[in-house]
Structure 1
Amino acid sequence: MNKTIRKVAILGSGVMGSRIACHFANIGVEVLLLDIVPFELTEDEQKKGLTKENPAVRNRIVNTALQNTLKAKPSPIYDQSFASRITTGNFDDDLPKIKDVDWIMEVVVERLDIKQQLFEKVEKYRKPGTLITSNTSGIPMHMMCEGRSEDFQINFAGTHFFNPPRYLRLLEIIPGPKTKPEIVDFLMDYGDRFLGKETVLCKDTPAFIANRIGVYAIISGMHTIEKMGLGVSEVDKLTGPVIGRAKSATFRTMDVVGLDTTVNVANNLYKALPHDESRDKFKLPKIVEVLYENKWFGDKTGQGYFKMIRHKDGRKELKELDFNTFEYKDVEKPKFKALEASKEIDDLKKRIKFLVNFEDKAGEFYRASFYDLFKYVSHRIPEISDELYRIDQAVSAGFGWELGPFETWDVLGVKETVEKMEAAGEKAAAWVHEMLDAGNDSFYKVENGKKKYYDIPSKSYVEIPGTSDFIILDTLKAADKKIWGNAGASIYDMGDEVIGLEFHTKMNSMGAEVIEGINTAISMAEKSYKGLVIGNEGGNFSAGANLAMLFMFAGDQDFDEINLMIAQFQKTMMRARYSSVPVVVAPHNMALGGGCELSLHADHIQAHAELYMGLVEVGVGLIPAGGGTKEMTRRFSNRVIPGDVELNHLQEYFMNIAMAKVSTSAEEARALGYLRPQDGITLNRKRQLAEAKAKVIALSDAGYTQPMEQTNIRVLGKTSLALFEAGITGMIYGNYISEHDAKIARKLAWVMSGGDLSAPTEVSEQYLLDLEREAFLSLTGEKKTLERIHSILFKGKPLRN
């Protein structure tokens, strides 16, 4: 279907409407955001003598909503300047403007009558053929279509974003009874490629897929928690990152989302599902019902499962709910033998299997909750989805699970788990037994480098649609495409004469194993391949250099070893820049310190839109010495054109490092100078490695030539040193920085100025690398630097001394 989206109309500016508008603005689409006209003047408007006819009054609701959204943390928009792409208005005056848009999206309150009334007005102005969707979390499509024209119905569907839409990956697509297939195909593709979402096709069933399964898991889990007598902190410890779930786990998530939201969905599902075999699990257990009746909904009401106590002296103290007394008590620090015993198991799949089979209270909880969930999802096919992979996709993307229910079941072993489930009284659906009886022992498998799922109607394994456009490292591993590896890095054949390097250290920190991996990958690529992609599928691209080794050497005052270590790091970064084949780096989430420096030296960066990149070494009492300081100085030099005020530009780059500025998006990373204009941004994380590989091929096929090291970097010597010294002194006098901060800043200024040169001079990259290494070495001998490193390593928090 050939459809271009240049302009969208978002009808409804509440929490979801404003945030969806921001995300469309993020990708460059022009947005018309509309809402109702206020019924009454505010007291402030009355004092100003305004009337209901004043534009400021008529657009107050939409403008206030948008401004509040733009102030929200984390921000819903990649760059505040993108807000200019959003035009506001109201339904009474501006609804006729929808005739000029390509897509109309309704995001008003979840009431069928209000939605139908709005659609009736929309039909007066909507141009035939215009795409129209409703962002609903549960109202059936066929009800919303009632009374609408044929053209409206064939171009109508549900588009269920999860909040916040910038950050949560799920977008459920729900066709109406008459929706054209090409409209569904367009929405699935657009959500994936342009909005960066995991687009999941849903049936028009109550709560669709993610909320149907996710809310069941929550409320059913509450029954288990109540039965076992587990506490708030105990449950959050068990249901967080240790099993690949969000850090906010169960109760903290409910407080943030709002208990009323979860309960309303559960109550609606109970009413709407008279034939659901597990319907009674949607009934509220006491540990939910009491809070709901007391209106302890969480953060929005000031208390829920947790409550923040503010003391008169300004101290804040977090308390948790006691399920025996329903009063608040000190937050507990739970301990389980299973969790203690699993600490050294880094592989999530191995850890989950270990925990579920462990004989203690934690293992008992995991078995009860997982077996119940497995039974439930098996019975939802074909009710809510014909394909099992859609359930995994929806729940994982919507609730932040690393592994969906069927993926987790595979990890535990389908056959042995079915036997244990039946022994526990949990009976899987008949099709699972039929699958096992036919000799098929898993829901997923990898064949010929392609991930396939078990297709129930055909009783065979079928490739997951759309995944041919992705490069998934787990699939490459399963297909035996690994060609080299050590404890911290692995190299894979990505096909088409391109290889990929993956880090797999803790937080993907860069130590000796990763440096060896980079050098080995470049050597292999130079010998036999078109080029190299450096990227991974971990939670973060890289949190920076391995500080533990540096701390050990610095504590022993082994400066020769530190010098060798830094020289090797610099050499490796420069090799990434000056190899004979293109090197493309694909950073995502955190790319800090050394992770940022590696990216800065790539021929091309293919960044994920969610990129938190920065040179943060000053936080541990150091300066960037893996070429980061050199590189920002080089970029300053290459950016300056005749007539520019050089000092202003140099100061920008200096302040980025001195203040450890970290981007909050890839777009902001470009504004900070970490990304260049030619570097790319990928919206959908699953497409990032494939797009990075395509860039390697494009650079190679265009006739890639090994670049030459730059020897004409302009540094300003005493001129910039004087400027920086004045600023540093002023910051000290104003008590904005400590003496040690000032010492670090002076070292940084020395490097970026090229030293104490009497006049602006052109220097080489190696000259600056030597300066930054010398400055780094001197700072490792400082007691206060060691104190900062110690605080990060052993307390997990930065120290300002």
Structure 2
Amino acid sequence: MAINKVAVIGAGVMGAAIAAQLTNAGVPVYLLDIVPEQATNRNIVAETAIQKLLKAEPAAFMHKNNARLITPGNIEDHLSLLADVDWVIEAIVEKPQVKQALYKKLVAVCHKDCVISSNTSTLPLSVLVDGLPESFAAQFMITHFFNPPRYMRLLELVTSPKTRPELISTVQHFADIALGKNCVLCKDTPGFIANRIGIFWLQCGILEAIELGLTVEQADNIIAAPFGIPKTGIFGLLDLIGLDLIPPILSSMTRALPAEDAFQPISQLPTRIQDMIAAGLTGRKGKGGFYRLNAERIKESIDLNTGEYSASHKPKTIKETNLQAVLSSSDKESQYAWRVLSKTLAYTASLVPEIADDIVTIDAAMRDGYNWTLGPFELLDQIGVDWFVEKLQAEQRLVPPLLWKKQALYLVNSGQLHFATLTGLYQPIRRDPGLLTLVDMKRQHSSLLSNDSASLWDIGDGVACLEFHSKMNTLDMDSMALIRQSIDKVKNAFTALVIHNEGEHFSAGANLGLLVQAIHNQDWAAVEQLIIQGQQTYKALKYAPFPVVAAPSGLALGGGCEILLHCDAVQAHAELYMGLVEVGVGLIPGWGGCKEYLRRWLMFPKLPKGPIPPVVKAFETIGLAKVSKSAVEAKELLFLSHTDGITMNKSRLLADAKRKALSLCNNYTPPQPCVYALPGKTAEVLLGMSTRSLHAQGKATPYDLTIAAQLAYVLSGGDCDMTEPLSEDDMLALELNAFVTLVKQPNTLARLEHMLKTGKPLRN
């Protein structure tokens, strides 16, 4: 069975966003909702939802054209369309009687192999199928997406013994491959896994902050970075979720959980939060929440005691990395962290096997549902289970049975990761077929080559993997050295190379700190050597006698983008944000990015004939520092080629890239060098006119003109003309000269230092 067409019923925030993610997988979708009273357009609810999706930030569609795959409709006129769909996702109001009334209509329309599911996060499956035919129960399951569905990897799947196994497998496979989800099987318990733990954690965070008299900034600061939790912390996350959603969730959990559950004593929403909701202070979708921007666009935060807003002050970064030390300090922030995390982690440990049979499932749910770097049990191992238990005992608190033995919850045995069971024995973690991870490889083998910035690994079948592992995977001289060493190693002992890492981002580009240091020292020879080394290293990679395939995810900017442009092929994660952004720091691409990106436009068959259109296209993209908002957009911008692959599930990226690399091995020959027939001064003058026009309109700063002039000179081919074709080395020389010229300008130094300090470009 396959899923070729889907219907989503309920065009609210979640239903519409689920429909958008289905189109990102290339699947046509019917989006249906009610017909409002006295509506002249009976599809107005679904049509309005699609328009909102097109304007949503972050973007719901990986490409705006995907919206064409959604057919809007209504449940009064268009339920008959569902006869040919393979999956119906219900995302309507959280009232069992309303949902069941809809299900009875679906039974009469949908074919017997159609999956019918609910996106509910609060209602048990047993209640939803109660009183309905067994044939419906066989088709029914809960598929709980997390918001926003495009970006959150978790899909909680709840089934019953009556659910047909082949339908479960169909949804699991489709969610994994097409939607990019980690599909976690949950038991039919209140809140399932992620929200059962997550809501408990959030509620603890609110109550303890109020009791200890912490500011929201202090609370979010201590609970986030030290423990691998997103920087939104607790109060920032509540603003994102919407405070108005919390009361119904708490009410539902309170009703569903037994009186003795540890959630019950903390289930009351403080008066301060109730007052905020009543005043419309519901978070980002309202008039502000725990944080807000005032009329002057200055960030403010609320005082949890008085309810008054004042300018937000970011606490100092916590540099302590020993988690026991962070949790043991006598200051209020550490007390807060201990109270919140000890309650949350102990509660989580007490829920095995009630909500899931093993700790691996729970850890996966919290990583992918709440974006924690470590799941609760992985975090316990980082803290130290024995230390944690002894501290609980010292406070005369209950220790969950899972922790009684005070043993590590994960360990490596014979190169394979094992997890602890309730019996105290360990079982190996089984990976799904088709999954390949560097972290598993590292448990089994030592690196082939390594330095502080990069390493080379054997990933089997004659394929090696080059990994960057500096901060933000920025590139420096060590990175270049390891690339060159890897070329020699692979040439002699392997058949192909994959470039990949499992960080949040592929590479944020060159290490700007090194460049700023050289500028301060006026060491122009060092700057020139940095550029030459990068150019020659990337050129050697391009012409290596074996296929090179990159497997990027997240940011691939500047030098990180340039290395991808030099590879034979790319297998990209769908969430790839790729671009040549050097103008933002007062520079132009200097590691071959100009020549390689221009080459793509010169070879693009759909442009008007002539030498100038490709130069204009490359100039626009680089000059405006355009960054793709997805891998699909990266193809449209020609950062990726039409033959490059896209993987929806990040967990499958390395395996897909390895397969692509192996497919290129037979009779592989390096690419032929490119010859550049460029228009020279004619194009340079034309580009100069366009940038001066932008400056006159206030869309370009004075220094933008300086950078644009250097970029135009390079892309136009310098002082050449069409009768004097340039080699790649000629183009690299133009890049080098322009780069060094800009580096010596004070305005470039100002842009570089501002980017390092704030993470944002300076418009000087």
TM-score normalised by length of structure 1: 0.92
TM-fit CA distance, 1:341: 4.2
Name the CA shift for 1:358/1:510 in 2 (closer, same or farther; >3 Å).
farther
Query: Does the 8 Å CA contact 1:447/1:479 hold for their aligned counterparts?
Result: no
Letter in 2 for 1:745: A
Q: Deviations over 1:469-522 (max 9, x none)?
A: 333333333334323221122222222222222222121111112112222222
Pick one of 297, 302, 315 that aligns with 2:282.
Answer: 297
Which of 551, 567, 571 in structure 2 is aligned with 1:586?
Answer: 551
- Are 1:113 and 2:83 counterparts? no
After the TM superposition, which of the residue ranges 243-252 and 298-307 deviates more from structure 2?
298-307
The residue that corresponds to 2:630 in the other structure is 665
Distance 1:359 1:483 in 2: 45
Q: Which residue of 1 aligns with 2:761?
A: 798
2:606 and 2:203 mapped to 1: Cα distance?
Answer: 62
Q: Partners of 1:411 and 1:784 in 2: how far apart?
A: 45
Checking the alignment, whether the CA contact within 8 Å between 1:617 and 1:623 is kept in structure 2 is yes
- Does the 8 A contact of 1:216 with 1:266 survive in 2? no
Q: Does 1:181 align with 2:145?
A: no
Q: Aligned partners of 1:151 and 1:522: how far apart in 2?
A: 59
Map of 2:417 onto structure 1: 451
1:281 to 254, 266, 269: 266
| Alpha-carbon distance, 1:384 to partner | 0.8
What SS does structure 2 have at the residue aligned with 1:402?
Answer: coil
Q: Is contact 2:402–2:421 with CA below 8 Å preserved after alignment?
A: no
Task: Render the CA deviation track for 1:275-318: whole Å, top value 9, x for unaligned.
Answer: 443121223345544434555322333132223321xxxx2233
Q: Is the 8 A contact 2:113 2:167 kept in 1?
A: no
Between the two proteins, the alignment pairs up a number of residues equal to: 763
Please tell me the residue identity of whatever aligns with 2:518: F
Who is 1:216 aligned against? 200
Is residue 526 of structure 1 aligned with residue 491 of structure 2?
A: yes
Q: Residues 533-612 of structure 1 correspond to what in structure 2 (within 5 A)?
A: 533-612=498-577
The structure-2 alpha-carbon separation of the partners of 1:641 and 1:141, relative to structure 1 and needing over 3 Å to count, comes to closer
Shift in CA distance, 469/463, structure 1 to aligned 2, threshold 3 Å: farther
Partner of 2:315: 334
Q: Helix, strand or coil for the counterpart of 1:386?
A: coil
Q: What secondary structure does 1:299 align onto?
A: coil
Q: Select between 767-776 and 258-267 the one with higher mean Cα deviation.
A: 258-267
Paired residue type of 2:357:
D
CA–CA separation in structure 2 for the residues paired with 1:368 and 1:153: 42
Query: Is the CA contact 2:180–2:648 (under 8 Å) kept in the aligned structure 1?
Result: yes
Q: 1:729 aligned to 2:710?
A: no
Q: Is structure 2 residue 668 aligned with structure 1 residue 704? A: yes
Match of 1:39 among 37, 40, 53: 37
Query: Contact 2:222–2:318 (CA<8 Å) still a contact in 1?
Result: no
* Partner AA of 2:710 in structure 1: K
Say which SS state the counterpart of residue 664 (structure 2) adopts.
helix
* C-alpha separation in 2, matches of 1:499 and 1:353: 38
Tell me what 1:617 maps to: 582
Of 355, 371, 388, which residue of structure 1 is paired with 2:359? Answer: 388
Preserved CA contact (<8 Å) 1:318 1:330: yes
Alignment match, 2:617: 652
User: Which residue, 20, 23, 39 being the options, matches 2:21?
Assistant: 23
* Two-structure CA RMSD over aligned residues (Å): 2.0
CA distance in 2, matches of 1:139, 1:60: 28
Structure 2 equivalent of residue 46 of structure 1: none
- Asked whether the equivalents of residues 170 and 398 of structure 1 are also in contact (C-alpha less than 8 Å), the reply is yes
How far, CA to CA, are the matches of 2:608 and 2:574 in structure 1? Answer: 34
Conserved 8 A contact 1:7-1:103: yes
Change (3 A) 1:536 1:356: farther
* CA drift at 1:77: 0.4
Q: Using a 3 Å threshold, how does the CA distance of structure 1 residues 450 and 636 change in structure 2: closer, same or farther?
A: same
1:554-605 CA distance string (max 9 Å, x none): 2333222211110000011112211112222111111100000011111111
Query: Please, what TM-score do these two structures have when normalized by structure 2?
Result: 0.96
Question: Could you tell me whether the CA contact under 8 Å between 2:2 and 2:170 is conserved in 1?
Answer: no
SS in 2 for 1:108: coil
Alignment check: 8 A CA contact 2:272 2:305 kept: no
Consecutive aligned runs of 4 or more in structure 1 exceeding 4 Å deviation: 292-295, 640-643
- CA offsets per residue over residues 97-138 of structure 1, 9 Å max, x none? 100111111111111111111111112211122111111112
Asked if the contact 1:391–1:404 (Cα under 8 Å) also holds between the matched residues in 2, the reply is yes
Cα distance, 1:365–1:508 mapped onto 2, change above 3 Å: same
Question: Residues 81-104 of structure 1: CA distance to partner in whole angstroms, max 9, x if unpaired?
Answer: 111111111111111010011111
Does the 8 Å CA contact 1:375/1:426 hold for their aligned counterparts? no
- Give 3-state SS (helix, strand or coil) of 1:93's partner: coil
Paired AA for residue 21 in structure 2: H
CA, structure 1 residues 61+340, in 2 after alignment: closer, same or farther (shift >3 Å)?
A: closer
Matched, 1:367 2:338: yes
For 2:521 and 2:280, the matched residues in 1 are separated by: 58
CA contact 1:371–1:426 (8 Å) conserved in 2:
no
Match of 1:633 in 2: 598
Distance, in Å, in 2 between the alignment partners of 1:280 and 1:293 is 24
Q: How many angstroms apart in 2 are the aligned matches of 1:27 and 1:761?
A: 46
Residues in 1 aligned to 2:119 and 2:463: alpha-carbon distance in whole angstroms: 41
What's 1:416 paired with?
Answer: 387
Measured in 2, the distance between the counterparts of 1:674 and 1:353 equals: 45
The answer (yes or no) to whether the contact 2:551–2:572 under 8 Å persists in 1 is: yes
* d(CA) in 1 for partners of 2:481, 2:21: 40
Q: Which runs of 5+ in 2 are unaligned?
A: none
Give, in whole Å, the separation in 1 of the partners of 2:578 and 2:707. Answer: 21
1:766 is aligned to 2:725:
no
Specify the alignment match of 2:678 in structure 1: 715
The change in CA–CA distance for 1:764 and 1:271 in structure 2 (over 3 A counts) is same
Alpha-carbon displacement from aligned partner over 1:612-632 (angstroms, at most 9, x marks no partner)? 110000111111011000101
Question: In 2, are the aligned partners of 1:544 and 1:593 still within 8 Å (CA)?
Answer: yes
Deviation of the 1:183 alpha carbon: 2.1
The match for 1:7 among 5, 8, 13 is: 5
Decide which moves more: 442-451 or 649-658.
442-451
2:125 match: 141
Alignment of 1:474-513 (within 5 A): 474-513=439-478
Matched residue type, 1:238: I
Q: Please tell me whether residue 162 in structure 1 is matched to residue 150 in structure 2.
A: no
Question: Which runs of structure 2 are paired with 1:262-281 in the superposition (5 Å)?
Answer: 262-278=246-262, 279-281=264-266
Query: SS where residue 449 of structure 2 aligns?
Result: strand
Alignment CA distance shift 1:171-1:556 (3 Å)? same
Is the CA contact 1:640–1:646 (under 8 Å) kept in the aligned structure 2?
no
* Residue aligned with 2:77, SS: helix
State, as a whole percentage, how many aligned pairs show the same letter: 38
- Higher mean Cα deviation, 278-287 or 170-179? 278-287
In 1, the alpha carbon distance for the partners of 2:165 and 2:328 equals 45
- Counterpart residue identity of residue 332, structure 1: H
1:296–1:738 distance in 2 versus 1, CA, 3 Å = closer
Q: In 2 relative to 1, CA 180–371 (structure 1 residues): closer, same or farther, beyond 3 Å?
A: same
Residue number among 724, 736, 739 corresponding to 2:702 in the alignment: 739
Distance 1:474 1:756 in 2: 50
State the AA in 2 paired with 1:501.
Answer: L
Q: Which residues of 2 match residues 311-350 of structure 1 at below 5 A?
A: 315-335=296-316, 340-342=318-320, 350=321
Q: Which moved more, 1:729-738 or 1:108-117?
A: 729-738
Q: Are the aligned partners of 2:94 and 2:123 in contact in 1 as well (CA < 8 Å)?
A: yes
Q: 1:308 aligns with which of 252, 271, 293?
A: 293
Contact 1:270/1:283 (8 A) holds in 2? no
Aligned partner of 1:399 in structure 2 is 370
